[in-house]
Structure 1
């Protein structure tokens, strides 16, 4: 094997590793997006929780006998 062939093989190996790392980073970024709820979704969840809490409190208050 000549020096040129060895250098070429090393360059190909580095390119393969670089491509693998880039694909892995992309995959991890996409997975992170799926794991973290969006801000609009979080706001909707908070709004829904607030409405449910208010409704439960109103039910409890309306059932109390003074």
Structure 2
């Protein structure tokens, strides 16, 4: 009984998975760099996010009051 080919296939599969995971981690790290604002933009982006959130809440509130009235 020869178990060598099966072990070889398992090793190749593990290498493929390891390469895939490494590429995925690199992709996610690069993606995260594009999503995080720079330190100089933090206050500005925080203020913009607050304004956008407030506008969204006000829209939803006005729609709800329109349905009730």
Structure 2 segments unaligned to the other structure (5+ residues): 48-69
TM-score, length-scaled by structure 1: 0.58
Q: Which secondary structure does the structure 1 equivalent of 2:37 belong to?
A: coil
TM-score, length-scaled by structure 2: 0.56
Structure 1 segments unaligned to the other structure (5+ residues): 50-66
Q: Which residue in the other structure is 2:6 paired with?
A: 6
Aligned residues: 45
CA–CA separation in structure 2 for the residues paired with 1:2 and 1:38:
58
Kindly report which structure 2 residues correspond to 1:1-66, keeping only aligned pairs within 5 A, or say none.
2-40=2-40, 42=41, 46=44
Q: Considering Cα pairs closer than 8 Å and 6+ residues apart, tell me whether 1 or 2 has the greater RCO.
A: 2
Q: Which has the larger radius of gyration?
A: 1
Deviations 1:26-66 (A, max 9, x none): 100100000111113x16x74xx8xxxxxxxxxxxxxxxxx
Q: Which runs of 4+ in 1 moved over 4 A?
A: none
